[in-house]
Chain A
């Protein structure tokens, strides 16, 4: 295809694509994000293809594999345009009906969203509460485009911001616009994007590099993946605009190894942009050159740290280095390098297109724009949620997330990944932005939001993060390597019932040391999960230490399982499922768990029929003595 040589040619291409598309034409979209693929959306898509052929309507309707719309809980998701009828949990068997009904202008009622409160069925995507209360600026286009087709992105106004920047603005004007928009980094630190750009531009040394950080390592967070998989051109466009402002001609996209689809889609996007002359030499005939390369990670959390990531791009091991000199001045190969998160780059085209004033009208005074959160854990509507910064936690978890799953009681929401903290119920009305959550001892971080309920043990939860960090610490600096391990020892001791009164003070001392002496943010913030759980859930620590009891019933060493003789119906299900044959009993013989054999895996509790509910879990109390042998025989009536 011929390369585009001017803004005019880009606009003509766009007009051509749009004119060939009938906005009223029926279009079936199938989500092809990782979560939907995991539940079989690829098969659903294949069945759609076959079904359109079979019903002989292939030429009259469109079929599109799109990016993730965010409602992962209900995948595979199919949306039928132009009306945007939203079908959930679509199985291959449902496809024929969806096709034939849609062609007749009908709706398949049984696959619609049902409001859990009113029982009312909701047909149209924008009316589903999960979507209704969001403001999906960045994520919204995911559901409208096929990530492997640049034409889809161009049809929606793609690369308009790039041509505006290149032809109507000087690099300084682009910089000033971003500055005026008060854009702050979406990766966690919340550092001013414009200041970062400016330092890189003003630092001596050529060439300069720009980098997309898609090493999204926080467990429970997948916002960046969804964008990279679903709308890679938006990131690419933002990166190119940034490169223009900074004066860089070479960029890198660093994708973590666990995201193969993201790496694949961004590579396709780069190739297509190059073919159209939107990347490479003399972009759109402006004289500006810019190339982009993709680098894949190989599985190391610490490599998401900026200096570590730059080492990895050089082909070295991705370990961090001291930052006496900022990477903006000496980054990749000691040249000025500007690294931003995926979402930060994706914000750029919006700001250039709509202006800084528009952007600052969204969000709060010090945190402008929207932010995508990954709402996961014990919540009804797991998925990706994009809201203006400053939205209260309660709105995100309850109005959009539909509240805690399984009718359980909310305990805390953990934000900010392993460097973040747990926020208890009394602070649920706090607005979520860069600064507010820090006041609560947590942080917004890159946007992970994990909901926990009464069944989550906060000591075990803190141990989970410390264990994670102990494995991911690169070991280069002693405070982090030894400090985190020491803390893990103490937490393990507590969860195993060996905790001592002095352990709390010991952990607080370790936390202070980690913060002061660690080389990079991994160690500096490692203690946060412990500090916030100590701050808000001290009673749980005390129960473990003083009463040898785990209130949530999670810490194995402090648990015991036994059979309630009054409820046991001697059905043998638990005995058959016990992996260590610790349950004795027979037909009409009440079952007994041999405590010396029991490994406390909880299988018996899980398999005991709910109508019996005979397996009991206890913590901090001795197991009742088994009933006498003769009393074990069940006398059944009739």
Chain B
């Protein structure tokens, strides 16, 4: 687990935990909140959650590694999510993913060394009409063609 003791993070962790006092069944909801706020889960956060919700750290770690939504390492400024749903698959999503990997030089789950982009895949975003789809940050780029991948990614700074 990666650590991050910065004051800002500690503050954010405390703020989130204050809303979920000791309710162990809300473990995943708390983790989601923290992930959303920091975009990853530092070790300190997990330890504090374990203490506050009275859930063994082992169990917290189990949940964090089981679900796709959580990350134990810091994420890039933009998360690039390529939809790999069935509809996107038949419309060529694997080739789009190939191209994104090649353009960014990273595989899904990884982050570029300059912490600009993180690459993720998702099983379906439910906007099949505009497939193949790639989401950068919160902007959807639909009906993507191979030669537009680089152009799209280059437009972010």
| A residues in contact (CB < 8 Å) with B | 34-35, 37-39, 72-73, 75, 216-222, 225, 257-259, 295-301, 312-319, 374, 376-378, 382-383, 414, 448, 450, 452-453, 456, 461, 464-465, 468, 472, 474, 577, 579, 601-603, 606-607
* Cβ 8 A contact of B147, one of A317, A452, A606: A606
Contact across chains for A450 and B147 when beta carbons are under 8 A apart: no
Q: How many residues of B contact A (CB 8 A)?
A: 45
Could you give, for residues 87-98 of chain B, a 1 whenever the CB lies within 8 Å of some chain A CB and a 0 otherwise?
101110001001
What 20 new A-B contacts, CB under 8 Å, besides A73-B129, A315-B26, A465-B86? A34-B126, A35-B128, A38-B130, A219-B86, A220-B85, A222-B128, A225-B126, A315-B23, A318-B67, A376-B87, A377-B91, A378-B91, A453-B90, A461-B89, A461-B90, A468-B84, A472-B123, A474-B66, A601-B99, A606-B146
Contact across chains for A315 and B55 when beta carbons are under 8 A apart: yes
Contacts of A382 in B (CB 8 A): 87, 128-129
Which of the listed residues B24, B63, B85, B128 has the most CB atoms from chain A within 10 Å of its own CB?
B128
Q: In this assembly, does B145 line the interface, its C-beta being within 8 Å of a C-beta of chain A?
A: yes
Contacts of A221 in B (CB 8 A): 124, 126
Contact across chains for B27 and A315 when beta carbons are under 8 A apart: yes
State A312–B31 Cα separation when bound (angstroms). 13
Contacts of B98 in A (CB 8 A): 601
Which of the listed residues A317, A456, A472 has the most CB atoms from chain B within 10 Å of its own CB?
A317
Q: In this assembly, does B155 line the interface, its C-beta being within 8 Å of a C-beta of chain A?
A: no
Chain A nearest CB, measured from B55 CB (Å) = 7
* Cβ 8 A contact of A296, one of B28, B95, B142: B28
What residue in chain A is nearest B124 (Cβ atoms)?
A219
Q: In this assembly, does B29 line the interface, its C-beta being within 8 Å of a C-beta of chain A?
A: yes
Q: In this assembly, does B102 line the interface, its C-beta being within 8 Å of a C-beta of chain A?
A: yes
State A382–B88 Cα separation when bound (angstroms). 12
* Cβ 8 A contact of A313, one of B25, B67, B85: B25
Q: In this assembly, does B115 line the interface, its C-beta being within 8 Å of a C-beta of chain A?
A: no
State A463–B70 Cα separation when bound (angstroms). 27
Contact across chains for A258 and B125 when beta carbons are under 8 A apart: yes
State A602–B95 Cα separation when bound (angstroms). 8
Given the interface pairs A315-B24, A377-B128, the reply to whether A299 lies near B86 with Cβ below 8 Å is no
Contacts of B10 in A (CB 8 A): none
Contacts of B87 in A (CB 8 A): 219-220, 376-377, 382, 450
What residue in chain B is nearest A226 (Cβ atoms)?
B126
State A313–B146 Cα separation when bound (angstroms). 41
Contact across chains for A258 and B124 when beta carbons are under 8 A apart: yes
* Cβ 8 A contact of B29, one of A72, A216, A296, A603: A296
State A548–B91 Cα separation when bound (angstroms). 24
What residue in chain A is nearest B26 (Cβ atoms)?
A315
Contacts of B131 in A (CB 8 A): 376
Contacts of A318 in B (CB 8 A): 66-67
Would you list 19 pairs from A and B whose C-beta atoms are within 8 A, ordered by A residue? Answer: A35-B127, A38-B127, A216-B126, A219-B86, A220-B87, A257-B67, A257-B69, A315-B26, A316-B59, A316-B63, A317-B66, A376-B131, A377-B128, A382-B87, A450-B86, A577-B147, A579-B99, A603-B99, A603-B147
Contacts of B84 in A (CB 8 A): 219, 468
Contacts of A216 in B (CB 8 A): 126
Contacts of A464 in B (CB 8 A): 86, 89
State A316–B27 Cα separation when bound (angstroms). 8
Could you give, for residues 66-82 of chain B, a 1 whenever the CB lies within 8 Å of some chain A CB and a 0 otherwise?
11111000000000000
State A472–B67 Cα separation when bound (angstroms). 10
Contact across chains for B86 and A220 when beta carbons are under 8 A apart: yes
Contact across chains for B29 and A295 when beta carbons are under 8 A apart: yes
Contact across chains for A258 and B126 when beta carbons are under 8 A apart: yes
* Cβ 8 A contact of A300, one of B32, B68, B130: B68
Chain A nearest CB, measured from B60 CB (Å) = 10
Contacts of A577 in B (CB 8 A): 147
Within 8 A of A (CB), among B119-157: 122-131, 133, 140, 142, 145-147
Contact across chains for B90 and A377 when beta carbons are under 8 A apart: yes
* Cβ 8 A contact of A606, one of B102, B125, B145: B145
Given the interface pairs A38-B130, A382-B129, A450-B90, the reply to whether A298 lies near B69 with Cβ below 8 Å is yes
Contacts of B130 in A (CB 8 A): 35, 38-39, 72
Contacts of B29 in A (CB 8 A): 295-296
Contacts of B95 in A (CB 8 A): 601-602
State A606–B147 Cα separation when bound (angstroms). 9
State A465–B87 Cα separation when bound (angstroms). 12
Contact across chains for A39 and B90 when beta carbons are under 8 A apart: no
Contacts of B63 in A (CB 8 A): 298, 316-317
* Cβ 8 A contact of B142, one of A38, A295, A378, A453: A38
Chain B nearest CB, measured from A35 CB (Å) = 4
State A607–B149 Cα separation when bound (angstroms). 13
A-B CB proximity, top 9 nearest: A299-B68, A222-B126, A298-B67, A72-B129, A38-B140, A315-B25, A219-B85, A376-B128, A376-B87
Contact across chains for A299 and B90 when beta carbons are under 8 A apart: no
Contacts of B28 in A (CB 8 A): 295-298, 312, 315
Q: In this assembly, does B11 line the interface, its C-beta being within 8 Å of a C-beta of chain A?
A: no
Contact across chains for B129 and A300 when beta carbons are under 8 A apart: no
Contact across chains for B86 and A579 when beta carbons are under 8 A apart: no
Chain A nearest CB, measured from B61 CB (Å) = 10
